[in-house]
Amino acid sequence: MTTTTIQGSLIGTRSVTGGAGTVRGVDPRTNQAFGDEFSLLDSDQVDEATRLADEAFATYRSTDPETRAVFLESIAENLESVGTQVVETAQRETGLPEGRLSGELVRTANQLRLFATVARAGDYLGARIEPALPDRKPLPRPDLRQVKIPLGPVAVFGASNFPLAFSVAGGDTASALAAGCPVVFKAHNAHPATSRIVGQAIADAVISAGLPVGTFSLVYGAGKSVGQQLAADPRIKAIGFTGSRSGGVSLMETAAARTVPIPVYAEMSSINPVYVLPSAIRDNAGALAEGFVGSLNGSAGQLCTAPGLLWVPEGAEGDAFVDLVVEELSRVSGLPMLTEGICRSRVEGEKRIADVEGVELIARGHEGDTENAPAPTVYRTTAENFRARPELSDEVFGAFCLVITYSSEADLLQAVDSTEGQLTSTLHLDPEDAQDIRFAQDLVPAVQLTAGRVLFNAWPTGVDVGDAMVHGGPFPATSDGRSTSVGTLAIDRFLRPVVFQSTPEALLPQSLLDSNPWNLVRRVDGEFVLPENQ
């Protein structure tokens, strides 16, 4: 008989056994539970985590850029030191292949180092100084000094589909810590063991950096009850979330109903339309069909940027391209989905779309050889039917796509205007084709109003992490289309600007002193000024 150990949450750096039941990891390829049990916290224990975060805030927000950068780099090093264990555990808990998870581990460590660079540079603080002009007419100008300050403790929720890069040490945690905000992280119950390993790597970095223990906590709990408690807790000042539209909207409603509302940065629903113009399929139809199916079925379609809508021109060329998609799809099999529940939702979502009048099945791959591995499928309808039936815009999370045929440029433009907010929109066209370039000049201004990232002649799956990336979009892709959860601008979500007017030097923050002890690039009297050592 196999015995299991009960592991606890990390409230600060201390392991705490919860009093509200337990969860275990489940291998979605077999539906078999395995490994240790993880105890779920009750409300009083969750309250302790937010209290510690609140107590840590005053000290942690005051850390200098170098201290914060070294802390983030230490997390990355700790994570890499347990990398083999993390990948093996995550593979068993999610069914994702080793190569995908190894790459995600590298991305997670690189994200931490990227935000260490951001913290060290300090430009995210946006320091601006306008010296006093006492003799200015008709009114003198006071001394004005602006800087961005951290909001306070942040509650972060782990994503099901990225057990590393959008999880415990992922982009939301890294950007919040870089901003100077303690983090209370709600572990995803689908990969509890992976979360615990990564959480310990962060806790060890907190200890080695000599930071307050409440700088980071990892809590296990029932998803809805703990989520609502964190969203309602007055000590939590912002929320980072990646998940379903219903889950994100529920957090938004709770946060907005507080006596003092707080921002919720939720990445939710996106079906990532791909617009294929006629020129793209005249000479490249085979490669286009192959690329589409690879993007559709990668990671079992469980990527927030998977293509869920494919717009194709009516006529012989469009039909020939669709035939190639059908042929390509017949060669692939379904891959294991993350959980039995997610697989069930995928099957039910397909059935809802299939039952809509005017929708027909055109291609189905093969079921996978494990549990929870439904066949990838593609259905078809017309642009007119798509516009008339809003339910066809509902996300089906998984390897599922709706091909939509359009009759003219005006038909496609009208459809774009009725499209919900998306993380991505993609255009495929021949850049040498004058007619399609002219059409794209009308299409792009419409598309950019509906998406956070506009791609050309590529596929939306795959998000590069850097200064220029935007992983966000108008609702319902995200709760706030002005923000991004990937890239260095993600730090802005957890900051707000404050102006110090005619402030004695002894009371100014370090970032605004004339001596510039943190060596920041600052905007002084309208001009960017480099520190003396640059």
CB under 8 A, 24+ apart: contacts of 243-250: 243/157, 243/159, 243/160, 243/267, 243/268, 244/268, 244/269, 245/269, 245/395, 245/476, 247/223, 248/476, 248/479, 249/479, 250/224
Is residue 499 one of the residues assigned to a domain? no
**What average pLDDT does this structure show over 233-256?**
97
Tell me the average pLDDT across 242-260. Answer: 96
Express each pLDDT in 421-439 by its tens digit. 999 999 999 999 999 999 9
For the chain, what is the mean pLDDT? Answer: 96
- Tokens matching residue 59: 């000290």
pLDDT in tens, 459-507: 999 899 999 999 999 999 999 999 999 999 999 999 999 999 999 999 9
CATH number of the domain to which 316 belongs: 3.40.309.10
- Give me the pLDDT at residue 224, please: 84
C-alpha torsion angle, residues 249, 252, 253, 259 (rounded to 10)? 180
Q: What is the pLDDT of residue 531?
A: 85
Here the CATH number for the domain that contains residue 252 is 3.40.605.10
Residue 2's pLDDT is 54
Catalytic sites, residue numbers: 267, 304
Question: Residue 298 sits in which domain range?
Answer: 273-456
Which amino acid belongs to residue 89?
T
pLDDT digits (tens, 9 = 90+) for 144-165: 999 999 999 999 999 999 999 9
Assigned token pair, 479 = 């709760």
One domain, residues 187 and 313: no
Domain count, the chain: 2
pLDDT in tens, 84-122: 999 999 999 999 999 999 999 999 999 999 999 999 999
Q: Within a domain: residue 502?
A: no
Tens-digit pLDDT profile for residues 267-283 = 999 999 999 999 999 98
* CA–CA distance, 510 with 64 (Å, rounded to integer): 9
Examine residue 233 and state whether it is found in any structural domain, yes or no.
yes
Residue 519 falls inside a structural domain = no
Task: Tell me the pLDDT band of 4, cut-offs 50, 70 and 90.
Answer: confident
- Residue 247 carries which side chain, given as an amino acid letter? G
Residues 256 and 130 both lie in one domain: yes
Residue 176 domain-assigned (yes or no)? yes
The reported pLDDT for the residue numbered 1 is: 45
Exposure string (b/e) for 310-333, b if CB count within 10 Å is 16 or more? bbbbeeebbeebbebbbebbeebe
* Statement: residue 349 has pLDDT above 60: yes
In-domain check, residue 432: yes
Assess whether 185 and 102 both reside in one domain. yes
Rounded to 5°, the CA angle 276-279-282 comes to: 105
What element of type H or E holds 181?
Answer: none
Same domain flag for 381 and 441: yes
